[in-house]
Amino acid sequence: MKHTDDGNDAASASFGDLIDRAIAWSSGTYKRAEGWLLDTKHGGYGTSVARIVYGVVLVLTVLVNFPYRQYIWGDASGWAAPLRVDDSWGPVFGFFSPTEPGWALTIKLLILAAVGIALIIGWHTRTFAIAALYLYISLVAAGPTSTDQADNAFRIMLFYFCFTDMSRHWSLDARRHARRLAAGKSAKAWSLPQWLPNTLNNLALIAIAYQLFIIYVTAGLSKVQGNLWERGTAIYYPLQVDKFMPWPWVNDLLVSGGFMVGVVTYFSVFIQIFFPLLLLVRWTRVIGLLGILAMHVGIGLFMGLGLFSLTMVAADVIFISDRTYAAVERWCAPRVVRLLRRSRTPRPSNHRGAATSKERAKISV
């Protein structure tokens, strides 16, 4: 009986230790998660890159479509009226209207481009990010025939980015913030408790990551179900559609060999399905990010969907660590400064030498 009691005591002690370890692990995990969420804002460099890229997308949207603006959104787009009847956006997003004069549409598009420039330079970033979201949704609502998945991705991602701090780097807001602190002034006239903007920023990053995972994994699993993707020939067919051939000779070069078609087909499926898992470890994260970047470069180059690729890449860069961005910035900054100084340095004039030559000619005569 004594040996039995000793065995039971040992088993109870082992079970108790296991419970204690589980509680300690859970408590530590909770504290780390709480600290990650509340203590500081993450993704400062990634969100700043996204701000710049989304500003570029807005400017390019205006520039690319500007010659055809009346046919897409203006008074010459009456042929799209039946599609606007079923529009679900409502009057709130009616800033762009097909019934307004042509000059009004032109001015409003220039306003949209100006908002994009404000995002690029980071001037009153949050205000103009919200304005960009509203104007872009209004533009899409006015032109239902020109809407595609790039517009959906842009709206969803920009909505989440509005809750992040996109002005911490490479912006006029960051410059103004640093000057106020250097002058001993508060960064803002009023401020919220720091944990609140930190939480909103970090929850928005989680939402962006989740949205990307849903997009990529769903797309990858949908591809797996298709026979053409299983055979490794799927990318051949869209690359032969005139709409997706900005440079036909480039597309022909890609699909000229069956091996390359198979590699690209299977690679796109692999990188989309396993993208979330590749982010778990640093060295596989590099592979995943380079792979997804290569996929979007291919989509933009071979299919002419550049705005869609830019929209997705701007969201993908949040997975690059601030430490990596800072290292790249430290490497690039002095080289850029030297390059700018060289460009500003006046070149030596040849007038003096020319005058001397003339004088010598006179003397020789």
> Residue 168: its pLDDT value, please?
94
CB 166 within 8 A of CB 120: no
Please tell me the distance from the alpha carbon of residue 122 to that of residue 110, in angstroms, as a whole number: 18
pLDDT of residue 360: 47
Look-up of token digits 């004069």: 101
Q: Which residues, including other chains, have CB under 8 Å from residue 337's CB and lie 6 or more apart? A: none
What one-character-per-residue DSSP string does 235-247 give?
GGTGGGSGGG-SS
Distance CA 154, CA 207 (A): 14
Question: What is the pLDDT at residue 85?
Answer: 64
Q: Which of 136, 163, 150, 1 is nearest to 55 (CA)?
A: 136
What would the two tokens of residue 53 be? 């890229």
Q: What pLDDT score was predicted for residue 222?
A: 94
The CB-side HSE value for 138 (13 A sphere, CA atoms) comes to: 20
- What is this structure's pTM? 0.86
pLDDT at position 365, please? 40
* Sequential pLDDT tens for the chain (365 residues): 545 555 555 556 677 778 878 888 888 888 889 888 998 999 999 999 999 999 999 999 999 999 999 989 988 877 777 666 666 667 788 899 888 899 999 999 999 999 999 999 999 999 999 999 999 999 998 887 777 888 999 999 999 999 999 999 999 999 998 998 888 776 565 677 889 999 999 999 999 999 999 999 999 999 999 899 999 999 999 988 888 888 888 888 888 888 999 999 999 999 999 999 999 999 999 999 999 999 999 999 999 999 999 999 999 999 999 999 999 999 998 888 888 888 777 665 554 444 454 444 444 44
Closest CA to 95 of 148, 158, 142: 142
Residue 99 confidence (pLDDT): 84
- Give me the DSSP letters along 239-297: GGSGGG-SSHHHHHHHTTSHHHHHHHHHHHHHHHHSHHHHTSSHHHHHHHHHHHHHHHH
